[in-house]
Amino acid sequence: MSEQAMRGVYSILVTPYDEQYRVDGESLQRLVEFNVQAGVHGLGVALGSEIVALSEVERRQVTRVAVEQARGRVPVVINTGGPVAELAVLYSRMAADDGADALMVRPPTFLPAGPDQVIAYFKAISDAVRIPIFIQETPETPVSGGLARRIAESCPNVRYIKVESLPPPYQVGQAVAACGDLLGVFGGAGGSFFVEELRRGAIGTMPSCSQPEAFVAVWDAYQRGDDRTAQEAMYRWILPVNRLATQAPAAFYHVHKEILRQRGIIRTALVRGPVAPLDPMTQRELEQVIEELSCFKAATRRGGG
């Protein structure tokens, strides 16, 4: 698969658990299939997958299930960043061995790192694998356009940057202007500003995986030049869910898992933590949104046809 081809909607998979909070591989298989059938262009395992809540063994398990179920139909990106280069290299090699098509890595977080250290960190990872790497830049680990260029110039495998600094559309625009010639720019923020990011030159986004047909519909409309339909799909399908996902603590995980559970994709909506459940009012609002989005089912059929 040509890595230059990576663009579009890359769903970040949730990690489904069984009633004992163990990774539920069968649900994960269904989740991969559901997203591939919905027409997404790639899959990811990252923070939205509770990746920091997984042991090293479980990381591998999730990676392998995703890769095996994807069967090369879409690329699978694994987040393999670590607090230090030694761990990031270890995780990156593991992911590459397990069949990942690409990696996503944020700058080191354990000790203060200047530009030279950040470059050395990415170089260590780039030298250890033969697959493309996304720089993951975040509010806590910002990467200026200039630094992104230097990383790209030093690291042949670094080909993309996923921008999560705030506010999202502005930061995506800045990144495209600063290093869009060297790196493909993906947006973040759960896809809430997907159209705005596309207008600024983003080539993809990485939303959650509970309504892939909606994101694919936005992408398709935008690609054929129909900005208005794209924006309407945002307001009709995506914002009601994404707003719910920000309106209570940990709601992001509860909301997307509960939608997937009610859609019959995963078996439980459990989240590791421990974490408080959704408050009753938000739960009620979620039910209402799911009810109103029953068009999902039709969309699923269409997307999977």
What residues line the site for a second copy (CB under 8 A)?
Answer: 21, 50, 52-56, 83-87, 90, 108, 110-114, 116-117, 120-121, 124, 167-170, 173, 193, 196, 199-200, 235, 239, 243, 246-251, 253, 271-276, 279, 281-282, 285
- Our CB check for a second copy shows the closer of 168 and 204 to be 168
Residues forming beta bridges with residue 135, ordered by sequence position: 105, 161
Least Å from the CB of residue 113 to a second copy: 7
Tokens of 137: 């830049």
- Our CB check for a second copy shows the closer of 5 and 281 to be 281
Least Å from the CB of residue 274 to a second copy: 4
Instruction: Give the closest residue to 158 by CA, choosing from 139, 130, 198.
Output: 130
108 upstream amide cis, omega within 30 of 0: no
Coil, strand, or helix at residue 101? coil
**Could you give the CA distance from residue 141 to residue 114 in angstroms, rounded to a whole number?**
11
- Our CB check for a second copy shows the closer of 72 and 273 to be 273
Instruction: Give the closest residue to 216 by CA, choosing from 246, 185, 238.
Output: 238
Least Å from the CB of residue 32 to a second copy: 22
Contact 265, 279 (CB under 8 A): no
Least Å from the CB of residue 192 to a second copy: 8
Tokens of 236: 């009709």
A 10 A CB-CB count for 20 gives 8
- Our CB check for a second copy shows the closer of 182 and 289 to be 289
Least Å from the CB of residue 117 to a second copy: 4
- Our CB check for a second copy shows the closer of 112 and 305 to be 112
